[in-house]
Structure 1
Amino acid sequence: MVSLWGNKKNSTEDEDDDGNRPTSSSESREARESRESRESNTRQSGETNERTRLLQQERVPGYLSPDDPAVSPYNLWSVRALRWFEVVFLVITFLWWVLLLVSIFVSPPRFNSRGSGFFDFSYTTLTIGNILVALIFFAVPSSAMSILSMSISVLLLIDMIIILAVPQIRIEEGWVGIASVVWAALIAFYNVIANRTVKWGKAEEEERLTGRSETRRTVKEWLAILIATIIMVIYVIIVVLMTAVLVLRSRDATLQAPGEKFLVDGDQYSVHVACEGNQTFYDDGSPKPTVLLEGGYMPVLNGMEDWVYNAHQNGTIDRYCWWDRPGIAWSENAPSPHSAGMSANAFTEALAVKGEEGPFILVGAGIGGIYTRIFSARNVRNIVGIMLIDALHEDFLHRVASPGRGFVLWGRGIISPLGFDRLAGALFKGRTKEDRVFGKSSYQGGKFIKNKLQENLVADSLTRSEVVSAKNIQQPNVPLVVITSGRHVKQDQEWEKKQEDLTKITDNLLGWEIVPKVPAEEVWATQEGRDRLEHWLGKLYQARMNSTVVDEA
């Protein structure tokens, strides 16, 4: 048995301390000399790789040339392990990136970001870029790379603190956004460690194999360092911009909503509803109508609510309510896809939770007219009047759904976390948090852009189907008023024909008026427009279900 064990030991293929394989007792002298000759030729030619054991000084007197491929930090298993982990992190991050990209268009269960979903996507895109730079320039470490990587990691840590510390941002970003920024910060710190380790390993191997640490660099190495530094500087600028936008968002979060926020659709997101005035009653004890406002392209508070407030102050109406559609002003983003009918359901649910029972007079402007008509058809018993202000006809939904518009919205959404326009407005134009939340700059926010992208994706499919169905369900005796912009009619000849078609959605038209010299959708932008709107709203308010009003303005 001892003899057998000895033979097995002698036949092993492991190398000895000098880098030679011990010969077996059965190996012939000719075979041994042939093998040693091949090994000598390989060493002299300089052909080596990570797996080739380096020659020791005892066998080859003197040091290797600094240009010898054997002089490499990859000789260290720790360096190779760090690079292997970088590849694993890249694969994981890329899969996460794909999932976030898909979720913008179709949200997986419990994967909805209430704050647009563009911030988490941007953090993940940045992480992929960070890993790629680390892999491409892995063997060329530099102090500039270490400093810039550390700057990125510190800034990402600040972003993580802001997201976690501000309740509204924490809710809007959700676990998806938090996970994305935490992962981005961890990868940035890992790259700092990897860069320093490779730098140490490079110096270690150079000193061991060439006799000293190499301080010179080739032109190729300097070019690689320059390219890597430029890219990392761009990354630092990107993170600085994202941090500044987060600071703006935290400031905007201090702006109190005038109404209340209600969780809807299985508590997936919240919408904002506000009311002005108290419920009043007719002499017979029945409640007077509450006017419900549905905004157009911009939020209700961006001009539309002003003339209704004046009508309330003048005693034309007693009470009105309005809401922000998902993604607009104080309302959070809904999961994708999201159609007009889904918004109508969310509004119905929020009103029910709030305790609003109607009856309602609906006022919709622009594309809000689509939402108003769907809401009316789904709440037929509580609707006692409809007012459409330069409303969009369903035959124009293909314009909203155009692929070019969708691509532009998607592109705007992707770069929205950088806040070029919002930061410039805050720094140079004096834009306030009111401007950014519901005012003239609100269209620049990621939530707003996500809302418009969701409209675009389903406008000519789900939404069109819903509004066509609503046309068939609509109660024919509901009093109707249609107001049209004179400028819009002049700009688009088809607009007037479709406005006339809107006057036929019920059989009880109180009036159709084309107001000259007022902007498209924003009829309330001029004093004449506000006066005509208040006049016709008063007509609707006075009308009762099944009544016929024949007097003209």
Structure 2
Amino acid sequence: MVSWFNKKQDDNEEPGASRSRSREDRSPNAHASAPHYEEPTERTRLIQQTNDPGYLSPDDPAVSPYNLWSVRAFRALSLLALAASFVWWTFLLVSIFVSPPLIHSRGSGFFAFAFVTLTLGQLALGLLFFVVPSKPMSICGIILAVLLLIDMGIILGVGGIRREEGWVGIGSIAWAVLISFHQVFQNQVVTWGKREEEERLTGREETRRSLREWIAVLLELIILVVMTLAAVLFTATLILRARDATLKPLGTRYSVHGDTYQVHLVCVGNRTEDSNEPTLLLEGDYGPVEHDLQPFIDDIYQYGTISRYCYWDRPGFGWSDNAPSPHSAGMSADVLSEALALADEKGPWVVVSAGVGSLYSRLFASRHLLEVSGIFLIDPLHESYLSDIGQPKRGFLLWLRGVLSPLGLDRLAGALFKGRTREDRVMGSSAYQTGKFIKAKLQENLVAVTMTSAEVQSARHIQMGKTPLVVVSSGKKMRADSEWAKKQEDLSHITDELLAWDVVHDAPHEVWTDGEGRQVLEKRLKEIVKASRKPKL
């Protein structure tokens, strides 16, 4: 009975007790012990609210450096920089084929394109692995930034490179340096933010990585090592360019085409106003004229066979700058005319050319009918072969070579293992490896079957019929290609005054490298100079 009574009494007291506890809960002391609600802050608003006072799991999505505004700000800056870099990269890509106003580079433009491509790669890599920072990423980033800073110092410090790259190249390398340091700071900020959020939300820094994170770190390390090696090669190639820039030109550089670029012109021999001797005007074949035709002509000048000659570097060759794109053979002929006028050279001229250079000489002759007193062609290229020069596949390969040219693999190997000199690289056998030369050949390819072909056809119609003409052809080339033989015969009829058409039996395309070929050339040069003498009044 007592137990039952006590239990009944407890049951009866329960409501009162509840009311008593309710009153206690509403007391000021109860408020002091209850959890206090806070408005979400910048640091906590992305975290899922929970009544659990304990720490979160390290794998919880709420444990993220994105909780910090500084981390999100760096990511937003990287996205903006990526968009700006892509726009600039597109402009540089287009300028290789068609130069927009004010974006023409006197150099090839491939270095600027390479720096911006590297910048795009850095930004894309940083965004792709944004929340997976690592020490290797920081180390490679610092090395990359230092190398690019050295590159900028070389470009700014060496006058020849600074002039060739212009504001386009300088702006591109400066942007690359800025982004490199931005990536280094970004990696540090994300690392700090990740550690801080882990300590705050999980109670400790998470030092373990998942398999997925290790794969990401390995992948970004491989890509960064490739980028760093590319930057090392950029630096080595720039050092080689700085060395080449110390080689002084043999003649004078003249600003042409509205002072947008310069071409190199040399004249050898004394000029007298009352002389009726013509001046030989040389045009080289595939490469710089200093490497192929000019040494032979200089030899016969030293022997006294001729009294005076001039030669120049076409845009992109030797000491001449690259011209804006597009650039045709006719434009080159006009630029040569401008350079000769600036040098106060008036002729009369006997144009002497070899291979593809014959197209340029013929265009010059057709635009200076009264000044050109003779045409001398050495195994010349017929205009029907312009379709071979303008093949799309050839153009793509030239573009690809140009894009890879800042790495300088062939130039560095030649300098380190073959003893190639700066003369070889500027005007010799290795000149074809330079970005300027590749750009010039790409320009030649782009307009070969359109602008240049039309210009040469017009020149053939305009050419004065009474101009003395000599053609010397390679016997080896003609025997190997019957079509080439027919075209050589056709070129012997571009004027009505054919002095001679010689086929040197054992001579290669470079006829002057053969003993018999040199004798024939020297003999015919004497004859055309004599036939071209301007009569005294």
Structures share fold, TM-score greater than 0.5:
yes
After TM superposition, list the pairs within 5 Å mapping 1:466-477 onto structure 2: 466-477=455-466
Paired position in structure 2 for 1:107: 99
After TM superposition, list the pairs within 5 Å mapping 1:335-354 onto structure 2: 335-354=324-343
- C-alpha separation between the residues in 2 aligned to 1:138 and 1:199? 10
- C-alpha separation between the residues in 2 aligned to 1:402 and 1:498? 20
**Corresponding letter in the other structure for 2:528:** L
**Corresponding letter in the other structure for 2:37:** D
Task: Return the offset for 1:179.
Answer: 0.4
What is the SS of the residue equivalent to 1:302? Answer: coil
Change (3 A) 1:516 1:62: same
1:18 to 24, 32, 37: 37
- C-alpha separation between the residues in 2 aligned to 1:52 and 1:307? 79
Q: Deviations over 1:175-215 (max 9, x none)?
A: 00000000001000000000000000000000000001111
Task: Return the offset for 1:304.
Answer: 1.0
Paired position in structure 1 for 2:46: 52
1:376 to 340, 365, 372: 365
1:280–1:288 CA contact under 8 A, matched in 2: no
**Corresponding letter in the other structure for 2:241:** R
2:116–2:172 CA contact under 8 A, matched in 1: yes
Paired position in structure 1 for 2:8: none
Task: Return the offset for 1:62.
Answer: 1.3
- C-alpha separation between the residues in 1 aligned to 2:148 and 2:300? 49
1:241 to 233, 238, 260: 233
- C-alpha separation between the residues in 1 aligned to 2:36 and 2:259? 68
Q: Deviations over 1:421-441 (max 9, x none)?
A: 000000000000011001111
Paired position in structure 1 for 2:521: 533
Paired position in structure 1 for 2:79: 87
- C-alpha separation between the residues in 2 aligned to 1:306 and 1:147? 52
After TM superposition, list the pairs within 5 Å mapping 1:519-530 onto structure 2: 519-520=508-509, 522-530=510-518
2:300–2:306 CA contact under 8 A, matched in 1: yes
- C-alpha separation between the residues in 2 aligned to 1:433 and 1:206? 57
2:277–2:533 CA contact under 8 A, matched in 1: no
1:139–1:198 CA contact under 8 A, matched in 2: yes
What is the SS of the residue equivalent to 1:261? Answer: strand
Q: Deviations over 1:431-489 (max 9, x none)?
A: 00011001111000000000100000001100011111111111110000001111111
Paired position in structure 2 for 1:3: none
Change (3 A) 1:246 1:478: same
2:285–2:292 CA contact under 8 A, matched in 1: no
Aligned: 1:130 with 2:122: yes
What is the SS of the residue equivalent to 1:364? Answer: strand
- C-alpha separation between the residues in 1 aligned to 2:263 and 2:485? 34
1:50–1:74 CA contact under 8 A, matched in 2: no
2:279 to 287, 290, 298: 290
Larger radius of gyration: 2
Task: Return the offset for 1:307.
Answer: 1.4
**Corresponding letter in the other structure for 1:183:** W
2:309 to 300, 315, 320: 320
What is the SS of the residue equivalent to 1:298? Answer: coil
After TM superposition, list the pairs within 5 Å mapping 1:378-457 onto structure 2: 378-457=367-446
Task: Return the offset for 1:20.
Answer: 6.1
What is the SS of the residue equivalent to 1:262? Answer: strand
Identity %: 56
Paired position in structure 2 for 1:363: 352
1:502 to 483, 488, 491: 491
Paired position in structure 2 for 1:305: 294
What is the SS of the residue equivalent to 2:101? Answer: coil
Paired position in structure 2 for 1:197: 189
1:206–1:214 CA contact under 8 A, matched in 2: yes
2:179 to 179, 184, 187: 187
1:164 to 156, 160, 175: 156
Change (3 A) 1:358 1:318: same
Task: Return the offset for 1:418.
Answer: 0.2
Paired position in structure 2 for 1:461: 450
- C-alpha separation between the residues in 1 aligned to 2:299 and 2:229? 47
Change (3 A) 1:465 1:17: farther
Task: Return the offset for 1:17.
Answer: 7.6
**Corresponding letter in the other structure for 2:351:** L
1:518–1:525 CA contact under 8 A, matched in 2: yes
1:542 to 525, 530, 534: 530
1:245–1:418 CA contact under 8 A, matched in 2: yes
Give ranges in structure 1 of 5+ residues lacking alignment.
Answer: 1-15, 22-48, 548-553
Q: RMSD over aligned Cα, in angstroms? A: 1.6
Change (3 A) 1:169 1:211: same
- C-alpha separation between the residues in 2 aligned to 1:303 and 1:248? 24
**Corresponding letter in the other structure for 2:516:** E
**Corresponding letter in the other structure for 2:46:** T
Task: Return the offset for 1:286.
Answer: 4.6
- C-alpha separation between the residues in 2 aligned to 1:132 and 1:487? 55
**Corresponding letter in the other structure for 2:374:** G
Task: Return the offset for 1:530.
Answer: 1.5
Which is worse superposed, 94-103 or 301-310?
Answer: 301-310
Say how many residue pairs are matched: 499
Q: Deviations over 1:206-228 (max 9, x none)?
A: 00000011111111111100100
**Corresponding letter in the other structure for 1:76:** L
2:390–2:444 CA contact under 8 A, matched in 1: yes
Task: Return the offset for 1:546.
Answer: 9.6
Task: Return the offset for 1:18.
Answer: 3.3
What is the SS of the residue equivalent to 1:240? Answer: helix
2:90 to 86, 89, 98: 98
What is the SS of the residue equivalent to 1:335? Answer: coil
Which is worse superposed, 328-337 or 301-310?
Answer: 301-310
- C-alpha separation between the residues in 1 aligned to 2:411 and 2:163? 22
1:485 to 455, 471, 474: 474
What is the SS of the residue equivalent to 2:370? Answer: helix
Paired position in structure 2 for 1:25: none
Q: TM-score, structure 2 length as denominator?
A: 0.91
**Corresponding letter in the other structure for 1:494:** E
**Corresponding letter in the other structure for 1:18:** Y
Task: Return the offset for 1:19.
Answer: 5.0
Paired position in structure 1 for 2:253: 261
What is the SS of the residue equivalent to 1:483? Answer: strand
Task: Return the offset for 1:248.
Answer: 0.3
Give ranges in structure 2 of 5+ residues lacking alignment.
Answer: 1-34
- C-alpha separation between the residues in 2 aligned to 1:51 and 1:380? 82
- C-alpha separation between the residues in 2 aligned to 1:310 and 1:215? 75
2:277–2:534 CA contact under 8 A, matched in 1: no
What is the SS of the residue equivalent to 1:326? Answer: coil
2:105–2:322 CA contact under 8 A, matched in 1: yes
Give the 4+ runs in structure 1 shifted more than 3 A: 16-21, 53-56, 544-547
Change (3 A) 1:544 1:71: closer
Task: Return the offset for 1:55.
Answer: 3.7
1:116–1:333 CA contact under 8 A, matched in 2: yes
- C-alpha separation between the residues in 2 aligned to 1:545 and 1:538? 11
- C-alpha separation between the residues in 1 aligned to 2:517 and 2:127? 62
- C-alpha separation between the residues in 2 aligned to 1:385 and 1:280? 20
- C-alpha separation between the residues in 2 aligned to 1:20 and 1:151? 44
2:501 to 488, 508, 512: 512
Q: Deviations over 1:24-76 (max 9, x none)?
A: xxxxxxxxxxxxxxxxxxxxxxxxx99634547xx422111111111000111
- C-alpha separation between the residues in 1 aligned to 2:125 and 2:463? 59
